[in-house]
Each structure stands twice: as C-alpha cells, then as structure tokens.
Amino acid sequence: MNIKSEKVQNFTVLRIEGRIDTVRSSVLENEINQLFNNGEKNLILNCKEMNYISSSGLRVFLVAQKKAIALNGKLMLCNMQPGIQEIFRISGFSNLFKIFETQEAALENA
Amino acid sequence: MKRQKIKYYVVENKMDELSSLAEKIERLADEWSISQELSMKINLVIEEALSNIILYAFNDKSKHEIRISVSKEDNNLEITFKDDGIPFNPLLQKKPDINLPAEERPVGGLGIFLISQVMDEMHYSRDKNQNILILKKSI
C-alpha cells in the first residue's frame, strides 16, 4: 500500500494505492490521525488505485468519518473502483460517506 | 462432466501470514481463470475468516496451524477452514445494524457479516478438537 498526500484548495487529498487489509490498515489510520492532529479538518480520500479493502480497512474509514464529524470537518471519498463500491454497499458504508465519481466533483460539492 | 479443482494451504496463527496467502490466492485465481472481482471477494472472505480464527480461537501462546482448502467444481466455489482452537462458532456473532449513522455505528464487528454477504452459505461444525468452517458460493 502507498499513500500520497497533497493539498488541493482547503482539502488534504490522500491518494490511497493498493490493499487496505488487516496487516496494512494501521498505516492509513496513522496517516489520517496525523493530519487530524495537525489541525486538518477537511479530507478527500482518492481511492482510484485502491484495489482491495477488508473490514479492518472499513474500520479506518469509519473512525476517520467519526473524527471529521466531531471536528465539524469534511471527509469525502472519490474514484472508487466498482469492487470496492460493492463492499461499501453491502456493509452499509455507502450511506456513511459522501462519495463522488471524481476528485473534481468532490471539490465542486465541498 | 464435473471437474473439481482443489488447492490446500496451511498457515500459522499469525496475522502477517495473511499477506503471503493473499498473493497465493491471486495466483490461484489466475490459474483457474477467476475474474479479478471474484478473486478480491475470495481474498476478502479468507482474510476475514482467518483473522477471526487467529484473534479468537486460540487462548494459549503456542503455534497453531490453520488448514484452508479452496475448491471449484463447475460453478460452485467452496472454502474450508480447519483449526484446533477452542470451540468458536462465528455464525453466532451478532449482526451489525448497517442502517445506523456514522456517529452511532460501532467500530468493528463487520468481518463475519461481510463473509455472510459475499458468500451464499456458511456452515460451522465442531469435530473432536477442530473448528470447521465451510463457505460456499455459486459463481
């Protein structure tokens, strides 16, 4: 798994690449925690290159959403692959996040 | 004519076994011409079942082996897990309420639920000192 970070407008965009599984999900969790701890409230998780997620990865997404809500911030997801969308749908996670087709659409709706 | 393909894996009760197993399952999916989408689901259910076994089935510090088989016969996929841990029936786990808002959604407890959503059937049995979990899906 790789995570690339960039600042776009008033959002930090994390581009998540590869597998978010039991072994690696803590890397993403730490990255997100660090951003929140440094005062960032607005995140876009660009999932274009994320090709696998398990329940431990979903847990990281949920914890991030809870924090964003508590901070009155924004957490948006975009560019999800169809297989990942299906996992979000069957776990009821599609309803917990603002999910956009593209990063541009996410920024426009911010 | 029915043609059954079957592959066996043995892993230790350590989380870092999951990564190398995932690679093996991807190779198997290639060999058996399984779509990428289905291969992701197979990997998902194996990860969820195995991590549950590793977390909850062993109450000692010893090394244990978990035996996994993946078989395909025509359009039927079957994945079996056998371990020598304490009796542990994952089917008894409480189902999460997936309609709760994010603030109220409990963190965790999704693994077995995901298996039940992805697969068509889940069977658990205890045979002597073994937990046996069988997952089936028509593909």
pLDDT digits (tens, 9 = 90+) for A56-102: 999 999 999 999 999 999 999 999 999 999 999 999 999 999 999 99
Of B15, B40, B101, the CB nearest to A23: B15
For B84, the domain range is: 4-138
Task: Reply yes or no on whether the pLDDT at B1 is more than 70.
Answer: no
Of B16, B98, B111, the CB nearest to A55: B111
Q: In this complex, do B18 and A96 lie within 8 Å of one another by their Cβ atoms?
A: no
Beta-strand runs (E) in A1-110:
2-8, 11-20, 42-53, 74-78, 98-100
The full set of domains in chain A, from first to last, is: 2-108 (3.30.750.24)
d(CA A23, CA A32): 17
Provide the CA B127 distance to its chain's centre, in angstroms: 18
pLDDT more than 70, % of chain B: 99
What CATH number is given to the structural domain containing B86? 3.30.565.10
Quote the pTM value. Answer: 0.93
Of A52, A54, A65, the CB nearest to B102: A65
DSSP class of residue B46 equals: H
Chain B: residue whose CA lies nearest to A66: B103
Q: In this complex, do A54 and B102 lie within 8 Å of one another by their Cβ atoms?
A: no
Q: How many domains does chain B have?
A: 1
What is the length of chain A?
110
Residue among B127, B48, B133, B135 nearest B89 (CA): B133
Look over chain B and give the mean of its residue pLDDT values, rounded to a whole number.
94
Cβ burial of A21 (10 Å; 0-12, 13-18, 19+) is buried
